[in-house]
Amino acid sequence: MIQACVTISLVEQARGGPFVFWGDLEIAFRAAKQARFDAVEIFAPSAESLAQLPLSGLLEAEGLKLAALGTGAGWVLHRRHLVSPQAAERREAEAFIRAIIDKAGEFGAMAIIGSMQGHFGAEVDRTAALAYLAGSLDRLGEHAGQYGVPLLFEPLNRYETNLLHTLGDAGDLLDSMASDNVRLLADLFHMNIEEQDIASALTAAAAKIGHIHFVDSNRHAAGLGHLEYEPIAAALKQIGYSGYLSAEALPLPNSEQAALETMATFRKYF
72 interacts with ligand LER by CB under 6 A = yes
Selected from 138, 154, 195, 261, the binder of ligand LER by CB under 6 A is 154
- For residue 7, the surrounding DSSP H or E stretch is strand 3-9
251 interacts with ligand LER by CB under 6 A = no
Please, which residues bridge with residue 43 across strands? 9, 70
In the complex with ligand LER, the residue whose CB is nearer, 38 or 248, is 248
What part of residues 173-202 is at the interface with Mn ion (CB under 5 A)?
187
In the complex with ligand LER, the residue whose CB is nearer, 114 or 210, is 114
Contact (CB, 8 A) for 114 and 70: yes
Contact (CB, 8 A) for 209 and 202: yes
Selected from 195, 216, 248, 261, the binder of ligand LER by CB under 6 A is 248
* DSSP codes, 138-174: HHHHHHHHTTT-PEEE----TTT-SS--SHHHHHHHH
Give how many residues touch ligand LER by CB under 6 A.
9
In the complex with ligand LER, the residue whose CB is nearer, 61 or 187, is 187
Question: Catalytic: 261?
Answer: no
213 interacts with Mn ion by CB under 5 A = yes
Contact (CB, 8 A) for 25 and 250: no
Q: What b/e readout covers 198-224, taking b as 16+ CB neighbours within 10 angstroms?
A: bbebbbbbeebbbbbbbbbbebbbbbb
CB of 108 to Mn ion, least distance (A): 21
Just list the catalytic residues: 154, 248
Binding footprint of ligand LER on the chain (CB under 6 A): 72, 114-115, 154, 156, 160, 187, 213, 248
Binding footprint of Mn ion on the chain (CB under 5 A): 187, 213, 248
